[in-house]
Structure 1
Amino acid sequence: MTEKEKMLAGKAYQAGDKELSQDRLRAREIVFEFNNLPPKQIKQRKNLIKNLFGKTATMFYIEPPFRCDYGYNIEIGDHFYSNFNLTILDCAKVTIGSHVFVGPNVSIYTAGHPLHSHLRNQEYEWAQPIVIGDNVWLGGNVVINPGVTIGSNVVVGSGSVVTKNIPDNVFAAGNPCKVIREITDADKDFYYKNFKLDE
């Protein structure tokens, strides 16, 4: 197996491999162009992301600056929005559903490294996929670790570090991130806590 095949199969691989280095360079060139286009060139930025990501939908918007490793392992659903400074280390697949809102400075990490320095110094890595469901809101400065699945209709509070799976229909927060409570139909009438929406 090539190092790229090992990476995509979830096996230990060496990131300094020539093919992977070239793939990362291609992504960095596209991301550099994306991040440096004038603000009005929305269509051009959108086309760059379509060329970079493995899968996109019709409606999405990513605020620059944005960073990723490869791009081709990222799939986003319809009505995806991310605020400034989204970082996705997509050594494994990152699958994001529809109607997902991402706050500023969110980091999504599929990549991991050996605990022992002997293997780390040989540039070994591993990667596990991340899945984010539909109708999810990730607050600012959220970190998602390798192998995590976040269900649909979930809100993750700002500053959370998500190390384990989060089920559907909950508000979760903290470091490590834990379920705080279920989100129910009673929440439909409220914008924030006790601030009821105008009718």
Structure 2
Amino acid sequence: MTSDTRGGDTRTMYDRMLAGDLYIADDPRILEASAAAIDLITAYNATTPRQEPLRRLILEQLLGSIGEGSGIRAPFYVDLGSRIRIGARTFANFGLVALDVAPITIGDDVMIGPNVQLLTPTHPIAPGPRRDKWEAAEPITIGNNVWLGGGVIVLPGVTIGENTVVGAGSVVTKDLPANVVAVGNPARVIRTLEDDDVAPERQP
């Protein structure tokens, strides 16, 4: 394996990517991992719910891990797939985009509405490095029993605490604590959840 000295670093761009450091996505290992993920996700998106055993097999090959009883409605889109870990009994509706340049960890019993985006990649604000194609990524963590409403966007580096509800269309730019309801762009906490909050509600 050859090293890449751009930026004065002797590591490969693939190793830099895995470390969460700036990298350029022209490393053959990055390109191969991306191509393999595209093959699998294309196959997955061509299946129907009647092909559940095949769908499960593809997800197990694509993802870092997926727990018992979890399911994802097609279409589903990833960067690498292998850096996504999903707990048990989690459900993601149509159109989930999970760009996993950095790890994406999703807990147990999570509900993900349609067209949610989990975005780990970052790009330099300075025009020069951005033009030179440098990029990086920061991990996303979604705690147990979180509900992300339809169209929610979670930005790089965000952690959402367990039981928290994020209202439809919100953009989560910073960490949210456990047991709260958050809405808006940027998402802000509007109330704390109590143990007796059991009545069904519309998405906030």
TM-score (structure 2 length as normaliser): 0.91
Deviation of 1:180 after TM superposition, in Å, equals: 0.8
Letter aligned with residue 155 of structure 1: V
Partner of 1:191: 200
Partner of 1:35: 45
1:178 and 1:8 map into 2 onto residues whose CA distance is 31
Partner of 1:59: 69
2:156 and 2:86 map into 1 onto residues whose CA distance is 17
1:185 and 1:60 map into 2 onto residues whose CA distance is 25
Q: Once superposed, what is the RMSD of the aligned Cα atoms?
A: 1.0
Answer yes or no: is 1:181 the counterpart of 2:164. no
Answer yes or no: is 1:145 the counterpart of 2:155. yes
Letter aligned with residue 120 of structure 2: T
1:169 and 1:51 map into 2 onto residues whose CA distance is 33
CA contact (8 A) 1:16 1:123 kept: no
Which deviations, in whole Å up to 9, do the C-alpha atoms of 1:38-67 show, x marking residues without a partner? 341111011101111111111111000000
Answer yes or no: is 1:111 the counterpart of 2:124. no
1:4 and 1:53 map into 2 onto residues whose CA distance is 18
Secondary structure, counterpart of 1:186 in structure 2? coil
Q: How many residues align?
A: 192
Deviation of 1:120 after TM superposition, in Å, equals: 1.5
Where structure 2 has 5 or more consecutive residues not aligned to the other structure, the ranges are 1-10
TM-score (structure 1 length as normaliser): 0.94
Letter aligned with residue 99 of structure 1: D
Which deviations, in whole Å up to 9, do the C-alpha atoms of 1:65-86 show, x marking residues without a partner? 0000000100000001000000
Secondary structure, counterpart of 1:185 in structure 2? coil
**Which runs of structure 2 are paired with 1:158-177 in the superposition (5 Å)?**
158-177=168-187
Partner of 2:5: none
Partner of 2:18: 8
Q: Percent identity?
A: 43
Deviation of 1:116 after TM superposition, in Å, equals: 2.1
**Which runs of structure 2 are paired with 1:81-120 in the superposition (5 Å)?**
81-120=91-130
Deviation of 1:191 after TM superposition, in Å, equals: 1.4
1:87 and 1:77 map into 2 onto residues whose CA distance is 17
